[in-house]
Structure 1
């Protein structure tokens, strides 16, 4: 295996390890810190840029290996058609072993580069999906009243804040009810005083009351 295909193999193993690390269950806080570091670190951003360039070269190697496999297949078919005579058959048998060896190496390189590219796409999609899930979990925990997305303490704080608001509204409502009751009492007192004054006035001035009645 040449040096660049050895590097491709190392990259493939690294992708497999990274994929296992992504799908391993971890606590929410640990996973959030890890993905925040990956998404915000400038070093990781430079590494991702370098990997994109590397994957372009791997794509070129993949296309070259596919072309080599196709040419070996054509060469193998031509050897099978030219097999005539004992000496010719022996020579063709030697050439056929060589062609089969080249076919094996070409197919190996094609599978190696192809799986590396395919796993890179899977890693990219998995990483994006995990980020979306983390954002949704963060929003759910915030809606539940957890500013630190840590569980029950934030929920108690949110409930305490809502209870204070409700208590303040109840106090204002009770205050308004008391003011309304006071106004009703004043109105009833004024009505009673008016009735009493009317009765006293009629008693002291009966002629006026009669005139008014006439």
Structure 2
């Protein structure tokens, strides 16, 4: 195995270890601190940027390995035709089979590495969403252990006093509605009083002179 494919294999092992770390059941506080560190560490951010470039090179290796597998298959088919339908014998067959094996191995190695990177990205996003939901549920239930800077870092939206703030806003709107109702009733009474004063004079028929 060449050096770059050896590095790809080490990266695949590291991805499997990271995936196991993500799915291991840990206490809520430890998991929250771990994800806060991952999301805020500048070193992790630089590492993620470097990994994106690395996966681009792995994608190129994957395309090259697929091309090699295809060429070996075509070469093997042409050799069989030249032999009149008989299989290639001797060292030629061993050489072609070895090339086919190495090409398929490299293709599977690069393919699984890319596929696992997508799984890791999606798993990280889903776990982060679950942690935010658990944080909100614990706050709504009045858990005193939940809160502080870690909570603000984990979920930018929604704070510990969100329900109280919404209740205060709702009560304020109710008071405004009651005030508007009282003003409307006062205006209606004033309108009726003015109408009662003006109606008798306007309704009196004028005598013809």
Q: Verify the 8 A CA contact 2:12 2:113 in the aligned structure 1.
A: yes
Residue in 1 that maps onto 2:142 = 145
Residue ranges of structure 2 left out of the alignment (5+ in a row):
148-159, 165-209
Gaps of 5+ in 1: 151-157, 163-214
- Alignment check: 8 A CA contact 1:79 1:96 kept: no
Deviation at 1:91, TM superposition (A): 7.6
TM-score of the aligned structures, taking structure 2 as reference length: 0.67
Count matched residues: 148
Q: CA–CA distance in 1 between the matches of 2:15 and 2:40?
A: 20
Q: Is residue 2:128 matched to residue 1:131?
A: yes
CA–CA distance in 1 between the matches of 2:112 and 2:12? 8
SS at match of 1:19: helix
Give a deviation string over 1:155-185, Cα, whole Å, max 9, x none.
xxx9xxx9xxxxxxxxxxxxxxxxxxxxxxx
Partner of 2:105: 108
Note if contact 2:79-2:88 (Cα within 8 Å) is conserved in structure 1.
no
C-alpha separation in 2, matches of 1:40 and 1:34: 10
CA distance in 2, matches of 1:91, 1:144: 73
Give the direction of change, closer, same or farther, for the CA distance of 1:109–1:92 in structure 2 (3 Å limit).
Answer: same
Work out which of the two has the higher radius of gyration on C-alpha atoms and give 1 or 2.
Answer: 1
What is the TM-score with the length of structure 1 in the denominator? Answer: 0.66
Higher relative contact order (CA 8 A, sep 6+): 2
Structure 1 runs of 4+ with >3 Å offset: 89-93
| Pairwise CA distance, 1:148 | 3.5
Q: Determine if contact 1:8/1:116 at 8 Å carries over to the other structure.
A: yes
